Structure 1
């Protein structure tokens, strides 16, 4: 596969031989594939690492953002299928908004390529049956919105200090967050065959244990719910533990 410069699906790390499976990662609201570059070295050498790049990031900065789930899921699925990822063993990882997208793509993939999605990792994300915390952040005025996201740990200090970067970054983050907050159960409670490993932050004030308890009911055999130290962005603050957890499941499932 020639994916190094692919618009939708940049290749972050090739696997050493033999290739066991591909791990496709979905970043949180406003995030880019760069979030997962630090995963390259600690991942199992038989795992190839890729990440989804949506509009509003990097070379796709000027592309219009998605406003509805159906075209977003359809186009993401189509990009993965065109790259040949879905017809071979693979797994998905997503955090927060990215977990919602990974779940929807996994459901579509399970129908088209049964048995090839070895596992779905959803991280920092309420289960489909759990109502969204209110008030919606994406509706807040600009300064209040920034304060709320900063309180969750989602804005680095260097970004907050750079007004030019904020002007580029905030519309993308807010657009993703709108989709995340409006998302719910689109499948009438029916489970997927894909085993799900759901992770939540012990100190997450929004999508903690109570909000994520339902995840195992939406996956196949081997689904589980795991507690992680940290708040909503434990993906960043406890990266080593997250990667270790992912590695262990990928090796056992592979």
Structure 2
């Protein structure tokens, strides 16, 4: 690996506990505006031979000033390039909301190239690709209305919402991710052969069970819907419940 490729890999990937010869890698994508650090505590739950890779996207954390993506193809292509060393062996993908969309698109892209290394795809709080996005779109709202929408959704700390300087830093990534998420739809037309595990919050006003049940039509390898007693950000409020199920799936 060249120095430049190693630097690029580190810039894109947080690996809290490197594993010399992992049985499986769990590659994780956060929700809109979310930071890779969100996944660091997960290593306390995972078996010692599972390597966690959390993806650092531009516009947040150490990459706060990196250019944002405004189209899916470039984002997916660059993710695949940055993650190439981790996609060379068996892996599973996890993504929440916007991150669920990105995990799905990456899995489709890798499958289209003939790779069969993706063992499972875990998608949380994310409508199925054939489900129409609720309108009006949030990403185009004026700042005040957009902030109020973020407050209503949860997930963004109140302290951040009240700090004008911090909000000015994170708003571009939040808007950019949300724009991609809201414009996302089914571009593939046919199912693919990766097992899907779909998590939804039983009290989620954004992506309810009705919004996620269509995922069954997007795989020929089985699709499980798993309800969690939480709202949209159940991966934080009900982390133990979700991870217990996810880990059981990985072990099976």
* TM-score normalised over the length of structure 1: 0.93
CA contact (8 A) 1:4 1:10 kept: no
Once the two structures are superposed, the pairs formed by residues 80-99 of structure 1 within 5 Å of their partners are 80-81=83-84, 84-99=85-100
Q: Distance in 2 between matches of 1:79 and 1:203?
A: 36
- The Cα shift of 1:13 comes to 2.0
* TM-score normalised over the length of structure 2: 0.93
Unaligned 5+ runs, structure 1: none
What's 1:56 paired with?
59
- The Cα shift of 1:244 comes to 1.0
Q: Distance in 2 between matches of 1:247 and 1:100?
A: 21
Once the two structures are superposed, the pairs formed by residues 113-192 of structure 1 within 5 Å of their partners are 113-188=114-189, 190-192=190-192
Report Cα offsets for 1:172-217 as digits up to 9, x if no partner. 11110000000000102x1111111011110111111111001122
- The Cα shift of 1:158 comes to 1.7
What's 2:39 paired with?
36
CA contact (8 A) 1:230 1:238 kept: yes
- The Cα shift of 1:66 comes to 0.4
* 2:15 is aligned with 1:11: yes
Structure 1 vs Structure 2 CA RMSD:
1.7
Q: Distance in 1 between matches of 2:22 and 2:242?
A: 22
Q: Distance in 1 between matches of 2:31 and 2:127?
A: 13
Q: Distance in 1 between matches of 2:65 and 2:149?
A: 26
Q: Distance in 2 between matches of 1:112 and 1:152?
A: 37
Report Cα offsets for 1:13-52 as digits up to 9, x if no partner. 224x762100000010001111101111011222100111
What's 1:226 paired with?
226
Q: Distance in 2 between matches of 1:148 and 1:52?
A: 25
- The Cα shift of 1:150 comes to 0.9
Q: Structure 1 residues 165, 21: CA separation in 2 closer, same or farther (over 3 Å shift)?
A: same
What's 2:209 paired with?
209
Q: Structure 1 residues 12, 227: CA separation in 2 closer, same or farther (over 3 Å shift)?
A: same
Q: Structure 1 residues 183, 4: CA separation in 2 closer, same or farther (over 3 Å shift)?
A: closer
Matched pairs, number = 248
SS of the residue 1:138 aligns to: coil
Instruction: Single out whichever of 21-30 and 72-81 deviates more from structure 2.
Output: 72-81
Unaligned 5+ runs, structure 2: none
**Richer in helix (by share):** 2
Q: Distance in 2 between matches of 1:169 and 1:228?
A: 28
